[in-house]
């Protein structure tokens, strides 16, 4: 789901920017279009550095749970943005979450997976990123064709990203913390319990 959000939030702008830039909507200049499109990438660069460090302090699970909230709130804010400056700001903040999951998700997967499954499971994350981008393009195409004269349709396109955000929020309650992170914090008993719950043998 973290990889899917990465793909959806980077891909959804592809179809929505044309509607968003129209005079009756946000009336974006070419310069502003560039900032709206690239703001998420700039935010991701900072998010990868800052949030990666936070996950070392607070744990992979708690950080991913917090990021699901950031995804939800900033996606909602983007879909409701009344003007270009706020849209650029919200896209940057959304990028922080994108950068965070780009670091934490593969780290968490590699730390919790058994070595014989590690490569395959981490590869699933990469597959989900491209799946998210494809899904974003499909959603844009469907909504754009169903409502060709509705210039505000871009708000619904962007709001689609709230669905995987909610699923990630719910899903993080069901997964354990990284046992490697528990060991790093000196909690060997907790790490053993987690490993026992996700391994088929001692």
pLDDT per residue over 96-113, tens digit each?
Answer: 999 999 999 999 988 888
Dihedral sign for Cα atoms in the order 84, 86, 92, 94: negative
| pTM, to two decimals | 0.88
Q: Which of 55, 54, 23, 18 is nearest to 36 (CA)?
A: 18
Task: Please answer whether residues 4 and 132 qualify as being in contact, where contact means their C-beta atoms are separated by less than 8 angstroms.
Answer: yes
For residue 59, the tally of other CB atoms under 10 A from its CB is 19
Q: What is the mean pLDDT of the chain?
A: 91
Q: Is the pLDDT of residue 93 over 80?
A: yes
pLDDT (0 to 100) of residue 114: 82
pLDDT (0 to 100) of residue 153: 93
Q: Is the pLDDT of residue 202 over 80?
A: no
pLDDT (0 to 100) of residue 68: 95
Task: Please answer whether residues 199 and 114 qualify as being in contact, where contact means their C-beta atoms are separated by less than 8 angstroms.
Answer: yes
């Amino acid at each position: 789901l973290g990889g899917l959000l990465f793909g959806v939030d980077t891909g959804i702008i592809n179809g929505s920017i044309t509607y968003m830039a129209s005079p009756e909507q946000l009336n974006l200049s070419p310069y502003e279009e560039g900032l709206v499109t690239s703001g998420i990438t700039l935010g991701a660069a900072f998010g990868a550095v800052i949030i990666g460090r936070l996950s070392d302090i607070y744990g992979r699970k708690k950080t991913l749970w917090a990021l699901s909230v950031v995804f939800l709130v900033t996606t909602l804010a983007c879909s409701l943005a009344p003007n270009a400056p706020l849209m650029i700001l919200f896209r940057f903040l959304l990028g922080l979450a994108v950068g965070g999951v780009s670091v934490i998700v593969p780290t968490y997967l590699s730390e919790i997976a058994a070595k014989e499954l590690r490569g395959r499971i981490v590869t699933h994350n990469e597959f989900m990123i491209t799946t998210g981008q494809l899904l974003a393009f499909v959603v844009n195409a469907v909504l754009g064709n169903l409502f060709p004269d509705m210039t505000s349709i871009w708000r619904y396109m962007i709001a689609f990203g709230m669905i995987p955000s909610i699923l990630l929020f719910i899903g993080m309650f069901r997964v354990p913390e990284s046992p490697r992170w528990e060991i790093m914090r000196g909690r060997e008993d907790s790490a053993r319990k987690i490993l026992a719950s996700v391994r088929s043998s001692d």
